[in-house]
A and B are shown apart, each in its own frame.
Chain A
Amino acid sequence: MRYKTMIGLEIHVELMTKTKIFCGCPNDFGGDVNTHCCPVCLGLPGALPVLNKSAVEYAIKAGLAFNSQIATRTRMDRKNYFYPDLVKGYQISQDEIPLCSGGYVEIEKEDGPKKIRLMRIHIEEDTGKSIHTEEADTLLDYNRGGVPLIEIVTYPDMNTPEEARLFLEKLRATLKYIEVSDCKMEEGSLRCDININVIDTQTNTRTNITELKNLNSFKAAVKAMEYEEKRHIALLEAGKNTEGETRRWDEVKNETIVMREKGGVADYRYAPDFDIAPIVIEEEWIDEIRNSLPELPHDKKERFIREYGLPEYDAGVLTQSKELADFYEETNKYAKDPKQVSNWIMGDVLRRLKDEELEIEDLKFGPKDLAHLLELINSGKISNNIGKKVLREMFETGGKPEKIVKERGLIQISDEGELESIVKKVLSENQQSIIDYKNGKDRALGYLIGQVMKATKGKANPQLVNKMVREMIEE
């Protein structure tokens, strides 16, 4: 590979604390405009910020889940810049001494696991939200101002957009597992900035880093990275370079667009925030938080392999999100064959969810219903294929499988007497296939069985049909 892509990410995640990071205002998404504000989060003179214990705890949780080092002494710094969504003219953030340093996220690639290293995780306050109106005004809502954030910064360890996607999926799954954030990109509780450039390994020239911002889904992020990767390589091939600018993804044009030309390096003049005294984190507290962590995706995956005898791949897929893993385990409580449950969830269920861009939580049926469907198949009441048909209906109506089978008359025909006349009719109408079969063309048998299945609208027991067709031809 001549060209090597390097991708680093900066991810902002809103923490699900009850209150904001420095004041007791509620931390809720939505809410009437400018009703979750107080002198502290409005930056009024004389107001004193006091750090929220839960915000620190959640950030430590994240750090521990990603194998970071937790600082025992840290501080908050002021990041100075002017923008009206920032009430004080500075954001309270962390510069030199982040709460968490180092760590990594392990992604599962097809050719094995890979560790993506983290530089740091620090805590900071979110800004307000601005809306630009048609009348050329800017409207500001400060409900979000002061919501606790963690900023997670990676090393440029990802070499393909796919690796970056896997990283983001794993990061989101873990943060949801440990319940520090709901990570809803569409609500802005997870926001991702991407730094990307390409090295020509033959000439050792590299493009300037492009920063990608305002990506509202993982899909958009992947598309933007793929687009940039191609753009950078094309420029290298033409002996040119990128501008080192900030770009955004345009969903309509399907391309990245310059947002901001290359400016001087931002100079935020960080300085310690004297409103907030040094933060001391006791080792015992860190241990306490470590002990309270729930089972993480990796551990859950190992347990699924052990407990349910699943292949590593299945276990990896099923533990991608806590909700999916819970759905799988719940289904198993009512089903007999863990591998069969896995096949159905990983196959038809996940495929359908993916097609419709839904999550497992959006299903209209529950784990118990899926288990009952499998039971109908295993007891021979319906065939596997009819089972898939029933599942499709469960997706749409959320109906109970027993009821769908009964109402649609889908019960499998396993009665030889009932099938005999149909098989006879199919054979008499397809003499050529019988000859073909006798001449060694095995495909002809499949065709005949297919015709019988078709005649019974898929309700015939396929094993029985197979046996009957063979026997009748031999006669």
Chain B
Amino acid sequence: MVSKEDVKYIAELCKLKFSEEELEEFTAEFCRIIGFVELLKEVDTEGVEATYHVSPKIQPLREDKVEPSLSREKVLQNAPEEQYGYFKLPRIMD
């Protein structure tokens, strides 16, 4: 099942931080969800092809034709800050 460590790890991947209380809470919730999925394992899937996508549609392909982009003003409309036409953020290094 899901351990507290698992929840912590997933939270880290999502750049989230939980209190000890929250960790307990999520661990229990995750366990319930996984437990529910466990139920599905009881179904006999012998000879059934794996579902690799749940969409019944087929992806239409777009012709390679240029369409107008947004103006830079529009592009930067939601930018927290801008400089020289760029989105400006605090320094982030890999």
Contacts and interface: CB of A to CB of B under 8 A. Distances in A.
If over half of B's interface residues share one DSSP class (helix, strand or loop), that class is named, otherwise mixed; here it is: loop
B42 interface: no
A144 interface: no
A97 B52 contact: yes
A302 to B, nearest CB: 33
Interface residues of B, number: 36
Nearest to B70: A38
Q: B13, B67, B85, B86: which has the most chain A beta carbons within 10 Å? A: B86
A100 interface: no
A75 B67 CA distance: 25
A25 B3 CA distance: 45
Interface in B53-78: 53-55, 57-72, 75-76
B72 A33 contact: yes
Interface string A360-391: 00000000000000000000000000000000
Contacts, number: 131
Contacts of A399: none
Given A35-B72, A138-B90, A278-B57, A26 B66 contact: yes
A137 B53 contact: no
Contact of A34 (B65, B68, B85, B90): B85
B41 interface: no
Contacts of A426: none
Nearest to A31: B69
A157 B54 CA distance: 37
Contacts of A259: 94
A54 interface: yes
Contact of B91 (A23, A26, A132): A132
A159 interface: no
B85 A138 contact: no
Given A25-B69, A39-B70, A82-B15, A34 B86 contact: yes
A18 B87 contact: no
A84 B53 CA distance: 29
Interface in B36-54: 52-54
B75 A18 contact: no
A24 interface: yes
Given A24-B65, A137-B91, A277-B59, A75 B86 contact: no
B93 interface: yes
Interface string A47-87: 00011111110000000000000000101000010111000
A114 B54 CA distance: 42
Interface in A106-130: 130
Nearest to B67: A24
A212 B70 CA distance: 37
Contacts of B58: 277-280
A320 B83 CA distance: 44
Contacts of B70: 37-39, 42
B1 interface: no
A96 B64 CA distance: 26
A1 interface: no
Interface stretch (A191-199, A267-275, A328-336): A267-275
A259 B87 CA distance: 25
Contacts of A97: 52
Contacts of B54: 272, 274
Interface in A132-173: 132, 136-142
Given A33-B72, A35-B72, A53 B61 contact: yes
Contacts of B61: 50-53, 56, 279
Task: State the 8 A-B residue pairs at the shortest beta-carbon distance, nearest first.
Answer: A24-B67, A139-B86, A54-B64, A53-B61, A277-B59, A33-B85, A140-B87, A277-B57
Given A33-B85, A34-B85, 15 more contacts: A26-B69, A34-B76, A37-B70, A38-B69, A38-B70, A51-B61, A53-B63, A82-B15, A83-B92, A83-B94, A84-B87, A137-B91, A139-B84, A141-B85, A278-B52
